[in-house]
Chain A
């Protein structure tokens, strides 16, 4: 039964990806121009085919399968029975998933304003084309190219009780003592993760906001200043409104990223203490690949996709609104 699913997908690909070549070949070569056009179309379809094939097999088929699996009880070996919406009703009463979902929202709510404000501060700091600005931009952006896993292992050491250098600094400042363990408490564990992710990702927010700031003509702000607007007024009533499309983009970037958080919690907190730092993706991982309830895991994935789609929809709405202004 499982065997036929990918095969069906492959058959779809064969018909879906290469419709043009047979059509072009069948067309009688009435005029030279037409034949050339047909040949170009055939070549085009052939050139796009490998990419379309990969996306079909490794994206579209799994996507469809997610919905199908979510309606089944599905074991690791592939045996499955249809149970309709039972996985979904179960999800809504599952305390573990509800906790994970709420924690993900909590994490998103904490980190989004932090990333945004620091990103905006950095962008304003390095925005003017003065000497050194480019250099500092590069430095602040540097951690963005580091992976989440590597940066999490680095911060795991930095914040480690007793041996960690960051912990040592806090101890010297009197903000921690020998008995402190930041990872033993949900609040402080979350703060360590937030600090590490801010370090790693805030350069991205800075860069996007910087691009948005630089697309505002200097003359507009100068005009406001000449008309007697103060620095804060110029920023509040001129710069910020003009920055709205970028703000929407930056917010969606960090919200979508935070909703998908996994690496940092898997590595730094291991979901602890007492499973209090398990995110939605982490819970999907545990359900599917620790408890091997693949059908239920797929149902949770569908719910996650719904939330992400809602975020994308809000983004589009925000962007559309600004287009009209």
Chain B
């Protein structure tokens, strides 16, 4: 085996040659068939959600269910503006406010903190950094009860600001970790050159270091946004005023129905509005999301 490894690594073999040596496990057609069939399984629920949301209310309640909207309409989406006593679009506003707010706060604080932990070490900075990483190990589900009390004492209970701050806190450790690594990978000489040329400490960070850290910044922003947009448990507990509900919790209001029976078309329209922004953002910025995930998980 050792000799084989040696023989293999000595001359760089041409890729074509290598491919011939290890034939694929499956014939090409079988591979395409299997992969495509699985892809259908993964996409099917999303298709069901979209087609159900586009049925007219009568067809949406039909049993057995139809497989595509025979009379496509946006009734369910327009209906979301008046379901019982709530306007779902106001709740989309709540979700945008909290998610975007938490994202901006996390990105700013993680950039500042990450830079400090990487380049402007102060006495005890390593200790503080590892203490923040400990947050990784303890999920917020485990401290939700006292968190509720703390928010109440600060007058932030039942407020989107309080929820946004909680989301910021729980996304900060990953953000600090990513940003610290991003800044640490920039050679110190680059910063020194900027300082020599008359940049201040902050100027050096802003003009020289930050552009290098942009991928880490986008990853931090994406993770915080997805986590805040989709978060259900803390939003359910920390917000009790119906008008302040974020989108995922609002879905429980739609599903509780007006007369005890659930309007499935309406509910799937609400689900679609929750899911589609995530899918669009993922498809656009996949590279940063997957890259960040792997660097966070495997390092």
Interface residues on A, range: 35 or more
A301 with B237, Cβ < 8 A, contacts A48-B113, A168-B65, A267-B252 known: no
| Of the residues B120, B229, B279, contact of A41 by C-beta under 8 Å | B120
| Of the residues A39, A157, A162, contact of B201 by C-beta under 8 Å | A39
Closest to A305 in B: B142
A contact residues around B226 at 8 Å (CB): 145, 147
Beta-carbon contacts under 8 Å, A119-143 to B:
122, 124-126, 128, 130, 132, 136, 138-143
A141–B290 touching, CB < 8 Å: yes
B contact residues around A160 at 8 Å (CB): 264
- Pick from A55, A225, A267 the residue with the most CB of B within 10 Å: A55
B250 to chain A minimum Cβ distance, whole angstroms, is: 10
A47–B165 touching, CB < 8 Å: no
One digit per residue, 1 when the CB lies within 8 angstroms of any chain B CB and 0 when it does not, for chain A 140-157 equals 111101111111011111
A contact residues around B278 at 8 Å (CB): 145-147
A82 adjacent to chain B (CB < 8 Å): no
B230–A58 touching, CB < 8 Å: no
B contact residues around A142 at 8 Å (CB): 42-43, 46, 279, 282
- Pick from B25, B232, B289 the residue with the most CB of A within 10 Å: B232
A208 to B296, CA, bound (A): 11
B contact residues around A260 at 8 Å (CB): 139, 141
Closest to A293 in B: B145
B115–A47 touching, CB < 8 Å: yes
A224 to chain B minimum Cβ distance, whole angstroms, is: 7
B52–A157 touching, CB < 8 Å: yes
Beta-carbon contacts under 8 Å, A231-286 to B:
231, 246, 249, 253, 256, 260, 262-263, 266-267, 281, 284-285
B145–A288 touching, CB < 8 Å: yes
B63–A162 touching, CB < 8 Å: yes
A92 adjacent to chain B (CB < 8 Å): no
B230–A69 touching, CB < 8 Å: no
| Of the residues A2, A222, A294, contact of B22 by C-beta under 8 Å | A222
Stretch at the interface among A59-67, A94-102, A108-116, A185-193: A59-67
A199 to B49, CA, bound (A): 14
A40–B120 touching, CB < 8 Å: yes
B116 adjacent to chain A (CB < 8 Å): yes
A211 to B142, CA, bound (A): 30
Number of A-B contacts (CB under 8 A): 306
B contact residues around A136 at 8 Å (CB): 35-36, 38-39
A6 adjacent to chain B (CB < 8 Å): yes
| Of the residues B43, B117, B144, contact of A301 by C-beta under 8 Å | B144
B4 adjacent to chain A (CB < 8 Å): yes
Stretch at the interface among B71-79, B210-218, B266-274: B266-274
Beta-carbon contacts under 8 Å, B4-62 to A:
4-5, 8-9, 18, 21-22, 24-25, 31-32, 34-36, 38-39, 41-43, 45-46, 48-49, 52, 61-62
A308–B137 touching, CB < 8 Å: yes
Beta-carbon contacts under 8 Å, B137-151 to A:
137-150
A318 adjacent to chain B (CB < 8 Å): no
B287 to chain A minimum Cβ distance, whole angstroms, is: 11
B279–A50 touching, CB < 8 Å: no
A sample of 27 inter-chain contacts (CB < 8 A) reads A23-B123, A39-B201, A40-B120, A43-B202, A45-B116, A50-B109, A58-B165, A59-B143, A62-B147, A136-B35, A140-B42, A142-B42, A143-B42, A150-B230, A157-B52, A199-B41, A204-B293, A222-B21, A223-B1, A226-B8, A260-B139, A260-B141, A281-B141, A285-B144, A288-B145, A294-B149, A308-B139
Q: Which 9 interchain pairs have the tightest Cβ spacing?
A: A147-B230, A44-B120, A65-B146, A149-B248, A51-B113, A149-B232, A58-B169, A44-B116, A62-B146
Extra contacts, 7 of them, besides A43-B201, A47-B115, A163-B61 (Cβ < 8 A), are: A43-B120, A48-B117, A52-B132, A136-B39, A145-B282, A284-B141, A289-B148
Residues of A at under 8 Å CB distance from B?
Answer: 2-3, 5-6, 9, 17, 19-20, 23, 39-45, 47-48, 50-52, 54-55, 57-59, 61-63, 65-66, 69, 78, 122, 124-126, 128, 130, 132, 136, 138-143, 145-151, 153-158, 160, 162-166, 168, 171, 199, 203-204, 207-208, 211-212, 218-227, 231, 246, 249, 253, 256, 260, 262-263, 266-267, 281, 284-285, 288-289, 294, 297-298, 301, 304-305, 308-309, 312
